[in-house]
């Protein structure tokens, strides 16, 4: 869940998303408001081969943070 993630002032309450995870797979899909006020839908999936449950949470969070901060025109 996002209860303990994306808690920075720039993303808290702005990124609305659902997590998903399996062994070797992590995903984050949702909607955010960009810095210019546009609603932006996203879906990001990451696959690895290291046998971990829900790998790459930090990478997914960084991608959502980047999208929130972009102008995206």
> Strand 16-22 vs strand 39-47: parallel, antiparallel, or unpaired?
unpaired
Contact 45, 26 (CB under 8 A): yes
Residue 50 has pLDDT above 90, yes or no: no
pLDDT confidence tier of residue 73, bands split at 50, 70 and 90: low
Q: State the pLDDT confidence band at 2, using cuts at 50, 70 and 90.
A: confident
DSSP string covering 5-66: SS-STTTTTT-EEEEEEEBTEEEEEEEEE-TTS-EEEEEEEEE-SS--BSTTHHHHHHHHHH
């Amino acid at each position: 869940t996002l209860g303990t993630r994306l808690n920075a002032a720039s993303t808290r309450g702005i990124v609305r998303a659902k997590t998903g995870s399996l062994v070797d797979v992590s995903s984050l899909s949702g909607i955010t408001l960009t810095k210019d006020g546009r609603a932006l839908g996203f879906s990001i999936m990451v696959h690895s081969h290291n046998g971990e449950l829900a790998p790459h949470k930090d990478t997914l969070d960084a991608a959502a943070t980047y999208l929130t901060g972009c102008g995206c025109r």
